[in-house]
Structure 1
C-alpha cells in the first residue's frame, strides 16, 4: 500500500523551470558566507548597507558595512551612489523588513541590489566579524570566511 505524500501533493516543476526560478532567487539574495568571503577577499564591486538606524548600527554592524538607514533614503541621497556597484542591504534579521525597504528604494532608483538572507542575526550566527561604534571597520586580517559546509 502506497502512502500519500504531503511533499508530492504539489508536484515539483520540470527541471528546466526549477533552474530558471532558482537562478532568479539567487539573483535577489546573498547569504552571509558569500558576503563574508567577498569582504575577506577585498571584492570592491559590492557595498554592504546597514539599513537600520544609526543607534542600532553603532551597537553592532557587519565589519565594512556603511550605515544608510532606509528611512533616510531619498531620490537625492540615492543619486549620489555609485551605479557600478551592487548593494547588499541588511537589517536585524528575518523579522525585520528594513532591508527589503532599502533594497526596494535602491532598485527603484535604478541601482542593482541584493538582500542579505537573515540579516545581522544570521551573520552573527555564522560568527563573522561585527564592529561597534561609528566606523565601518576594517576586515580583520586574521578573519577569513570559513567553509560553511554548503
Structure 2
C-alpha cells in the first residue's frame, strides 16, 4: 500500500494582499498625481532654505495659532478669509503651498480647495506646522524665531537628509 503525504496547506492571503496591488502603470499615475497635490515639510524647508521663489507658503490657521509660530516667510490667510483676501496677498501666477495644524486637521485641505476654486495652483504641505516643528525647523513669532530639537520619531537626528 502506498501513501502520499498530504499537500501542504496554502498560506492564507494576508490582509495586505486581500486587495491586490494596482497594475504598475495605474500605480505610477496615482503616485504622480498624489505628488501633484501634496508636498512634505522637509521638501518645503529645503526649498525655502535654498532660496526657492517658485511658490508661496500660506498658513491657513487662526490669528491665535499664527501668533504661536509659523513657517518663516509664510503668508497668513485664514481659510475663511481666502475668498475675500487671496488676490490681495497672493499672485495667481505663483503656485501656493498651504498648511494648517497637522495630519489630524483638514484645515489645509479646505484652504487648498478654496484657493483652487479661485484658480490658484496649490499643494498641501503634509504634516502641517506640527511636523514642521517636530522635524526641528525654526518657527517665526512676533518675538523672533524659536526652534526645538527634532523628534527622533519623525525626523533623522544628526543629519538634514532622511534619504527619501
Q: Give unmatched runs, 5+ long, in structure 1.
A: 138-144
Quick one: distance in 2 between partners of 1:47 and 1:15?
A: 33
Corresponding position of 1:149: 163
Higher relative contact order (CA 8 A, sep 6+): 1
Gap regions ≥5 residues in structure 2: 1-8, 146-158
Q: Distance in 1 between matches of 2:76 and 2:46?
A: 20
Larger CA Rg, structure 1 vs 2: 2
1:78 to 82, 86, 99: 86
Structure 1 residues 50-109: Cα deviation after superposition (integer angstroms, max 9, x where no partner): 0001111111111221111111112x4223321221111111101111111110110000
Two-structure CA RMSD over aligned residues (Å) = 1.7
TM-score, length-scaled by structure 2: 0.80
Tell me, in whole angstroms, the C-alpha distance in 2 between the residues paired with 1:93 and 1:106: 19
Q: Using the alignment, how far apart are the partners of 1:39 and 1:52 within structure 2?
A: 20
Aligned length: 141
The TM-score normalised by the length of structure 1 is 0.87
Aligned to 1:127: 136
